[in-house]
Amino acid sequence: MELAELNTKIFADGAVLEDILELAARPYVRGFTTNPTLMRKAGVTDYESFARLVLERVTDLPVSFEVFSDEIGEMRRQALEIASWAPNVYVKVPITNTRRDSTAELIKELAAEGVKVNVTGILTVPQVETAVSVLSGGAPSFVSVFAGRIADTGRDPIPIMKDVLRILTASPSSELIWASPRELLNLIQAHEIGCHVITMTGDLLAKVELLGKDLDQYSLDTVKMFFEDANRSGLRVADAAART
């Protein structure tokens, strides 16, 4: 399958400014997502300055930035501030805080007020049902289901993602994000079930060129890699007679 045949939109997931600006020029990248963990890894310390630098250059693609308070009231303040930075901003709000307090009422208020919300941290169907019940009729939104983390527990995420798509029909303004994919195959799986969006980190985006690659050629490339690396390392197997 060729990249141009896929209906699922690819959002680049990361927090390195230079990478984001470079990826924004690629036609197959249709949006961006970030989170506090990625920002910490990238060394981001001034959240707003980083976000505004991104938004100065990325003006016509959706970009998701996350609230980071654990208090519902402060989440609301942060969400409204983040949403004001640019019209293409989606505000990531976790489905609960760290004490498992639901953020459903906050999400409902924000969506009704026109804030484009990306509900994040979702791993179960009941969580999706909660999100959809408060997003319906509101501003455009994303529902991020962490399919990769579901798979990490030994569960097949595909039946869950199919259920989620069915539930999302009750909120036509909401789109499903296949979050935290683990391999390029997940992009094909997302396309096959009709998932709207998939997030991909730089490591996975680097593999996009392999999509549909001839397997015989890939086999030869693999053999060449082993051969060349053995030579670079100076590996040798001594002749038995030489050891006597």
Q: Return the DSSP state at 87.
A: T
Instruction: Give the Å distances, CA to CA, from 124 to 98, 145, 146, 163, 164.
Output: 16, 8, 9, 10, 9
> pTM (2 decimals)?
0.93
Residue 243, pLDDT above cutoff 80: no
> Is 41 tagged catalytic?
no
Res 34: pLDDT: 97
181-220 residue pLDDT tens: 999 999 999 999 999 999 999 999 999 999 999 999 999 9
Q: 75 falls in which pLDDT band (50, 70, 90)?
A: very high
> How do residues 136-176 score in pLDDT, each as one tens digit?
999 999 999 999 999 999 999 999 999 999 999 999 999 99
pLDDT above 80: residue 242? no
SS3 assignment for 19-30: HHHHHCCCCCEE
Give the whole-angstrom CA distance, residue 30 versus residue 200.
11
Catalytic residue from among 9, 92, 108, 116:
92
Predicted local confidence at residue 1, as pLDDT: 76
State the Cα angle at 229 between 226 and 233, rounded to 5°. 135
Higher pLDDT, 2 or 94: 94
Domains annotated on the chain, with CATH: 3-210 (3.20.20.70)
